[in-house]
Amino acid sequence: MKLPIYLDYSATTPVDPRVAEKMMQFLTLDGEFGNPASRSHRFGWQAEEAVDIAREQIADLINADPREIVFTSGATESDNLAIKGAAHFYGKKGKHIITAKTEHKAVLDTCRQLEREGYEVTYLDPQEDGIVTPAQLQEALREDTILVSLMHVNNEIGVIQDIAAYGELCRANKTILHVDAAQSAGKVDIDVQLMKVDLISFSGHKVYGPKGIGALYVSRKPRIRLEAQMHGGGHERGMRSGTLATHQIVAMGEAFRIAKEEMATENERLLALRTRLLDGLSDMEEVYVNGSMEHRVAGNINISFNYVEGESLVMALKDLAVSSGSACTSASLEPSYVLRAIGRDDELAHSSIRFSIGRFTTFEEIDYAVKIIRENIGRLREMSPLWDMYKEGIDISSIEWSHH
């Protein structure tokens, strides 16, 4: 077993060796290095064919038409193109946009930018389990709502939203629905015909493909128009100019093909691994799972270890590559905005750790992780004055703390 153990698959995944193998065939002189936009020779034709196949593989995973796939540099760019592109194109119809407080920064910051341009944005508050209910969306929809942007699976807490229900509501209201599916592709079934979604963002590197490539699904029926954010040679039907990165596109296609093929068996294995992890920690005191357990992807678990501060915990777990909900980088440190939005208090938000399990995680690694988590939580709690107070039965919220 190699240390540290990688348990941060929601941040990024290693490229699957099968994908890397494929990718390398599209780089060098003896490979297919041509520009897919070159129409006058076979180098271009071959590259174009490879891109077409990849486009089909991606469309296949979500039951879409290949002509509905636009390649971008990643999910952040896809989010920007979808939200700004739709808002700018349909801005004359209305200026109201709906999103949620637990969205990824690529969505939230893009919405902030649109606010500066004069759009009005409603930020929905999810329930305590992280779910945005269809009723909440229904209530927020207005006649002038041109766009709704809600994620499929949350990156921090792994909660799965009811996209099909959002789709019905948005279609009935003639509002465009954009979904960030960076964390759900290859983990949860996506069917654009059943879900009535207009725009979907995808990432390559969360699905064992390379970084620097992503895609945006743009519905043809109904036809969704976007104002381009990148201008140039008119690639990707004018929606995203720039020479297509053949090797990355081919790799993303292969990654999505594998995802479709192996998703069911992989999810079963991931769930068994996560159950082993949770079972190993379940008898510990003051341990809280953040977000719904019922509607959650198999590979994610987000846990708060009360009375232990997150950054020292990450330091203690140096043999585990995990993410902390706390970022102690300033005098007043900022806990995870996602956990705050679902109503977790600062202390629990600070003491949270996200474990994300993936294709190459083993049972041996999980067992080792359980062992070092238990040892170190115990050690840090022995060192924590808050743990002492808890043990003495003192209510920490009743104390007047001097906020510095």
Partner 1 sequence: MAYSEKVIDHYENPRNVGSFDKDDKSVATGMVGAPACGDVMKLQLKIDDNGVIEDAKFKTYGCGSAIASSSLVTEWVKGKTLEEAGKISNTEISAELALPPVKIHCSILAEDAIKAAIDDYKSKNTAE
Residues in contact with partner 1 by CB under 8 A are: 307-312, 315, 326, 328-333, 335, 345-347, 350, 382-388, 396, 401-404
For partner 1, which is the closer residue by CB, 172 or 383?
Answer: 383
For partner 1, which is the closer residue by CB, 267 or 312?
Answer: 312
Q: Whole-angstrom Cα distance, residue 193 to residue 169? A: 15
Question: Which distant-in-sequence residues (6+ apart) come within 8 Å of 380 by Cβ?
Answer: 308, 309, 312, 313, 316
For partner 1, which is the closer residue by CB, 22 or 350?
Answer: 350
Neighbours of 262 (CB within 10 A): 15
For partner 1, which is the closer residue by CB, 272 or 383?
Answer: 383
Q: Whole-angstrom Cα distance, residue 27 to residue 15? A: 16
For partner 1, which is the closer residue by CB, 262 or 347?
Answer: 347
Q: Whole-angstrom Cα distance, residue 187 to residue 184? A: 5
Q: Is 328 a catalytic residue?
A: yes
Pair 32, 386: CB distance under 8 Å: no
- Minimum Å gap between C-beta 332 and partner 1 is 6
- Minimum Å gap between C-beta 345 and partner 1 is 8
Helix, strand, or coil (residue 288): strand
- Minimum Å gap between C-beta 384 and partner 1 is 4
State the catalytic residue, choosing from 287, 289, 328, 372: 328
If you compute the radius of gyration of the chain from its CA atoms, what whole number of angstroms results?
A: 23
Helix, strand, or coil (residue 266): helix
Handedness of CA 387, 390, 392, 397 (dihedral sign): positive
- Minimum Å gap between C-beta 121 and partner 1 is 28
- Minimum Å gap between C-beta 371 and partner 1 is 17
**Residues carrying an active site annotation:** 328
